[in-house]
A and B are shown apart, each in its own frame.
Chain A
Amino acid sequence: NAGVTQTPKFRVLKTGQSMTLLCAQDMNHEYMYWYRQDPGMGLRLIHYSVGEGTTAKGEVPDGYNVSRLKKQNFLLGLESAAPSQTSVYFCASSSNREQFFGPGTRLTVL
């Protein structure tokens, strides 16, 4: 089992560019989450999904969109990147108990 995987691992964008981060899990979990982690701020929830075809907003959803077309995949999109979105992004999946995290994507927006 690969667990939770994320692509890409690193990315540099210019302000205004768009991109999609991909999260995949092979544990058949219903719940999937996108977090961002910034120094001194801890992990903050961006969006989450409670099942295929569903999405919901978390604590900091502005500037991001998500889709869950397949149970095993959860995509995070940035339509027009801003420097404030420079962060490390983590995906997690859960069977409604403990979460399992991916290795993260380090995103820099110039």
Chain B
Amino acid sequence: EDQVTQSPEALRLQEGESSSLNCSYTVSGLRGLFWYRQDPGKGPEFLFTLYSAGEEKEKERLKATLTKKESFLHITAPKPEDSATYLCAVQADYAGNQFYFGTGTSLTVIP
């Protein structure tokens, strides 16, 4: 049973065209939801942690939000350098120190 589902699998945007990536989760007792960015051939790079519904975090053109069932990563006026795969992960109370990852959204921003 999937714990974390990300959509869409791939997204192509024109430079400046804002959009959102979705991460839905089925775990109960959420301890934290994490967003990462992964560039080709590199390890994931931490972006945000969200702990409770209603929480929001921002960094440059990225804004992450959290509800009881899903999280959104909003990208405002993206630039080509925002092209990457964005991964979502959750940590649940019942899973101790384990993290469950989604399969990611591959974002391409076209100049």
Q: Is B43 an interface residue (CB 8 A)?
A: yes
Q: By the criterion CB–CB under 8 Å, are A98 and B42 in contact?
A: no
CB neighbors of A among B16-65 (8 A): 32, 34, 36, 41-46, 49
For window 53-74 of A, CB contacts with B under 8 Å fall at: 58
Q: Write the nearest CB–CB distance from A30 to chain B, whole angstroms.
A: 9
How many residue pairs, one in A and one in B, have C-beta atoms under 8 Å apart?
49
Q: Which residues of chain A are within 8 angstroms of B43 by Cβ–Cβ distance?
A: 4, 90, 92, 101-104
**Contact: B87 with A43, CB < 8 Å?**
yes
Which residue of chain B has the shortest Cβ distance to A31 in the bound complex? B97
Q: Is the CB of A96 within 8 A of B42?
A: no
A50 close to B (CB within 8 Å): yes
In the complex, are the beta carbons of A58 and B98 less than 8 A apart?
Answer: yes
Within 8 Å by CB of B101, from A4, A43, A102, lies A43
Instruction: List the B residue with the shortest CB-CB distance to A6.
Output: B43
B44 touches A97 (CB 8 A): no
Q: What residues of A have a CB within 8 angstroms of the CB of B42 in the complex?
A: 103-104
* Interface residues in B55-111 (C-beta closer than 8 Å to A): 87, 89, 96-99, 101-104
Which one of B34, B49, B97 has the greatest number of beta carbons of chain A within 10 Å? B97
Q: List 29 A-B contacts (CB under 8 A).
A: A31-B97, A35-B101, A40-B103, A41-B103, A42-B104, A43-B101, A44-B101, A45-B98, A45-B99, A48-B97, A48-B98, A58-B98, A90-B44, A92-B43, A94-B97, A97-B32, A98-B34, A98-B46, A98-B49, A99-B34, A99-B46, A99-B89, A99-B99, A100-B46, A101-B36, A101-B43, A102-B43, A103-B42, A103-B43
Chain B interface (Cβ < 8 Å from any Cβ of A): 32, 34, 36, 41-46, 49, 87, 89, 96-99, 101-104
